[in-house]
Amino acid sequence: MKRTNTIYWIITGLFLAFMLFAGVSELLPPQPGKDIMGMLGYPKYLTPFLAVTKFLGLIAILVPGFPRIKEWAYAGFAFDLIGATYSMIAIGQANAGGMVFMLVLLAFLAISYIYYHKRVDGTKTVS
């Protein structure tokens, strides 16, 4: 169980640190996030909304209890990452480095999710 907790907290911590950085960068005055969102064709008001949802997802995953809300937070992060990846591909801005980075983030999210369930269920695996 100690190994499971260690893996969970390292992977989850790295993933949530990135999401925190992404959320904060979307709210800061220089707002390169708004430029990227504009390039993708999304309205400017969507950027602060996504930042707030990232912060809420962070809180949901870090606060003990509330398993259903955690499930929704994991799903929301998955939708966010998959949507961002698809958007980059759709406008022709996908490059190998960006795709590898998005795959790493999705892998971290998946590992965090799997180990969250291993922590909750004890030694059972997610099926």
Residues 6+ apart with CB under 8 A from 54: 19, 20, 22, 23, 26, 77, 80
Among 28-32, 50-54, 75-79, the range scoring the smallest mean pLDDT is 28-32
Using pLDDT thresholds of 50, 70 and 90, give the confidence band for residue 19. very high
Q: Report the predicted TM-score, pTM, of the whole model to 2 decimal places.
A: 0.84
pLDDT attached to residue 54:
93
Q: Please state the φ and ψ torsions of residue 45, each to the nearest 5 degrees.
A: -70, -15
Q: How far is the C-alpha of 2 from the C-alpha of 20, rounded, in Å?
A: 26
Q: How far is the C-alpha of 103 from the C-alpha of 76, rounded, in Å?
A: 16
Task: Tell me the pLDDT tens digit for each residue of 68-101.
Answer: 999 999 999 999 999 989 988 888 877 888 888 9
Q: CA-based diameter of the chain, in Å? A: 46
